[in-house]
Amino acid sequence: LSRPGVTGPIIGPRTPEQLTGALRALELELSEEVLAGLDEIFPGPGPAPEAFAW
């Protein structure tokens, strides 16, 4: 949710246990340093909308 263009996470739990596990993600906060590291590993497809045009 901290990234531009992301309007909401996609979850689809089938059991109450899966829902509980997914809800715990709302409590997670990543530092800017960690987010920058993740962006290095997974840079994404590129700027929208050009990168999404097929």
Number of domains within the chain: 1
4 vs 19, residue with greater confidence: 19
Q: What is the pTM for the complete model shown? A: 0.50
Domain that holds residue 15: 1-54
Are 35 and 2 in contact by the 8 Å Cβ rule? The answer is yes
The reported pLDDT for the residue numbered 53 is 73
Give the residue-averaged pLDDT of 25-48. Answer: 87
Give the residue-averaged pLDDT of 39-47. Answer: 82
Q: How many Cα atoms are found within 13 Å in the side-chain-facing hemisphere of 23?
A: 6
The reported pLDDT for the residue numbered 54 is 65
For all residues of the chain together, what is the average pLDDT? 82
